[in-house]
A and B are shown apart, each in its own frame.
Chain A
Amino acid sequence: MATPDALLVIIRHATHSSNWLREGLDAALVAAAFGQPVHLLFMGQGIMALLKEQGSGAPGQKATLPTIDMLEMYDIDKLWVAEEALQGMHLSADSLVEGITLIADQEIPGLLQQHTQILNF
């Protein structure tokens, strides 16, 4: 399931609390712009970045959803979502954007092992 030299970017922070999310997405985009295969794993609050009904936030703050939609233009099409965390937040996959893949908690260690490089945000 993973490309041998893919970069895994782990996103764990929500949109409005800090710059972590933005920085994680930027790192993914820069790597992809250089032709590096990039996969994303969303854990915990990071899952909030995938909510399809999210608005644009405070004035002057960049909205997250357009960037999430843009990922496919950078050929970033593997978006893993930690399933138990999703359930723990009382969310269902239906409330998230299209094209995500759920991953069970016990498969997360294996996912990390498969990637040669990991960036954790």
Chain B
Amino acid sequence: MILHILTKAPDSIVATQMQQAIGGQDAVLLIEEAVTAALDPSWQAWQQCQSRIFLLSEDLISRGLASIATDNELPTLEMDGFVALTEQYEKTVTWY
């Protein structure tokens, strides 16, 4: 079980590489540039990971994307949720 942390935009090569590496039990946290995924509910990773993919609130807010994420009904996580997630998964792999 791996927690993947994506820091680059959902249409980047980095995102594609991460998507290739996600296993069935893995979770994904979208931070930094990756929170622009809030704009695209049709992004394939949303389906691929279903209930185990989250946007980091802090980075959404700083980019003015928080209400869009809410409108698109996409799951978000606060900083403490992030910490809890890293504790829950045995490994973390950051994609930057």
Contacts and interface: CB of A to CB of B under 8 A. Distances in A.
Contacts of B21: 108-109, 112
Interface string A100-121: 0000010011101100111010
B26 A109 contact: yes
Contacts of A24: none
Interface of B is mostly: mixed
B23 A113 contact: yes
Interface residues of A, number: 16
A28 interface: no
B93 A118 contact: yes
B20 A120 contact: no
15 contacts: A12-B14, A44-B17, A105-B20, A108-B20, A109-B22, A109-B23, A110-B23, A113-B1, A113-B2, A113-B23, A117-B91, A118-B2, A118-B91, A120-B94, A120-B96
Nearest first, the 3 A-B pairs at minimum CB distance are A109-B23, A118-B93, A108-B21
